[in-house]
Amino acid sequence: MSVVMKPTATRAQLDEVIRKIESSGLRADVSSGEFQTVIGVIGDEKRLDFDQVKLMPGVHDAIRIQVPYRLVSRSYIPKDVVVKVRGVSIGGNNPPVYMCGPCSVESYEQVHRIGKQVMEAGAHILRGGAYKPRTSVHSFQGLGLQGLEYLHQAGKDLGLPTVTEARSEADVEKVAKYADIIQIGARNMFNQDLIEAAARTGKPILFKRSFAAQVDEYLSFAERIVANKNRNILLCERGITPLGGSFKPQTRFSLDLNAVPVLRRETPFPVVADPSHGTGRRDLVPPMSRAAIAAGAHGLMIEVHDRPQEVLSDGAQALLPHQLKGIVDTCNRLYKTISESEVPFSSDIANGNGQG
Ligand code: PEP
Ligand code: MN
């Protein structure tokens, strides 16, 4: 923390702030400029009441400098974490992993049929929503437990691990029982009870970034997963809200590909991107998939449907199975080229190890 004193602060007020810092067992490093004095606080900031310091006479502001997340940072876990899901390794130097399937599970027949097609196109993990987060109460809300059973059965029959969303704490136990990865959706990124309940199952968590969260906030909430002794985290960039005002967006969300190398630099966890929700448009899924892999994503989540005109949710962004094969092949080649090249990822550059 840094405490910035007002230009009008008296010596007695400064001494009082220093006394407060030192009596909390911390050290105060005072730097006096021409107009302002700033006190650097050194030590475990938890021992000092931040809000109380802000209200002390003569104090202009108290600014937390320490990052709000530690347990998910590379300073705590320096080496890349590889998350293993039934024989599929995600993260580190492993080639991209593709998690594909319909937006929603609609029937056993549907999820098995699409699952088979995505598997043949190169997908490693089958996705499908059973508890759907929907803006409108009038939209299809998902098949619930029945949907979980269909997804589980299709995954079992095809030999594919599965991922599906737990929309509330009440779903966590059932999702943990039936699926291999528990997804926390963008709308629930701030739901600390849900995050912690999911983390406590010990299962891998696909943790989606909210469309309204800064990376720091996102990682502070991811911190709760590690705080609950679960390091099986897949971070997922799925698009942020485009600018409002007079700017009319062409896309549903704006896939924030800056976040991919930033997350890779800041954290050791695998980072995946979701160009389906990130764009909301089928035609933009192929180029944004390529861009995400080029930016360093360890995998992609892509919605696929063979009958998009009949889809109960997100039809406009559903890719056709034959289009998926093209994306997977191109992205794999792209990954190979990048991993064989001298171009380092931003984590290397930030640490001074890069050659670029
Ligand atoms: C989904 O993946 O099915 C989903 C609803 O995604 P998001 O939470 O990113 O909107
Ligand atoms: Mn969807």
- Residue recorded with tokens 């983390």: 199
CA 322 – CA 305 distance, rounded (Å): 10
For the CA of 185, the nearest atom of ligand 1: 8
Ligand of minimum distance to the alpha carbon of 186? 1
pTM of the entire predicted model: 0.85
- Take residue 97 and report the two structure tokens written for it: 């992993």
Q: What is the pLDDT of residue 243?
A: 65
Distance from Cα 6 to the centre of ligand 1, integer Å? 46
Angle CA 103–109–110, to nearest 5: 25
Distance from Cα 31 to the centre of ligand 2, integer Å? 53
CA 164 – CA 181 distance, rounded (Å): 7
Ligand of minimum distance to the alpha carbon of 318? 2
Q: Is 185 in the pocket of ligand 1 (CB under 6 A)?
A: yes
Q: Is 1 in the pocket of ligand 1 (CB under 6 A)?
A: no
For the CA of 301, the nearest atom of ligand 1: 2
Q: Is 238 in the pocket of ligand 1 (CB under 6 A)?
A: yes
- Take residue 120 and report the two structure tokens written for it: 């043949």
At CB < 8 A and 24+ separation, what contacts does 34-40 make?
35/7, 36/4, 36/5, 36/6, 36/7, 36/60, 37/4, 37/5, 37/9, 38/2, 38/3, 38/4, 38/5, 39/2, 39/3, 39/5, 39/14, 40/2
Per-residue pLDDT reduced to its tens digit, 221-256: 999 999 999 999 999 999 999 765 556 778 889 999
Q: Whose CA is nearest to atom 9 of ligand 1?
A: 186
Q: What is the pLDDT of residue 199?
A: 98
Ligand of minimum distance to the alpha carbon of 183? 1
Q: What share of the chain is helix, strand, coil (3-state, %, to 5)?
A: 40, 20, 40
Q: Whose CA is nearest to atom 4 of ligand 1?
A: 185
Q: Is 318 in the pocket of ligand 1 (CB under 6 A)?
A: no
Q: Which domains does the chain have, with CATH numbers?
A: 2-64 (3.30.70.1140), 83-350 (3.20.20.70)
Q: Whose CA is nearest to atom 6 of ligand 1?
A: 185
Distance from Cα 277 to the centre of ligand 2, integer Å? 6
Distance from Cα 303 to the centre of ligand 1, integer Å? 10
Say if residues 182 and 175 touch (Cβ distance below 8 Å).
yes
Q: What is the pLDDT of residue 356?
A: 38
CA 103 – CA 135 distance, rounded (Å): 15
Ligand of minimum distance to the alpha carbon of 301? 1
Distance from Cα 315 to the centre of ligand 2, integer Å? 8
Distance from Cα 133 to the centre of ligand 2, integer Å? 9
Top mutation candidate among 105, 165, 194 for ligand 1, by most atoms within 8 Å of CB: 165
Q: What is the pLDDT of residue 66?
A: 64
Ligand of minimum distance to the alpha carbon of 313? 2
Q: Is 208 in the pocket of ligand 1 (CB under 6 A)?
A: yes
Q: Is 133 in the pocket of ligand 1 (CB under 6 A)?
A: yes
Which residues pair with residue 254 across a beta bridge? 240
Tell me which residues have their CB within 5 A of the ion that is ligand 2.
103, 314
Low-confidence residues of the chain, pLDDT below 50? 354-356
- Helix, strand, or coil here: 179? coil
CA 81 – CA 10 distance, rounded (Å): 51
Q: What is the pLDDT of residue 350?
A: 58
Q: Is 129 in the pocket of ligand 1 (CB under 6 A)?
A: yes
b/e 48-57 (16+ beta carbons within 10 angstroms → b): beeeebeeee
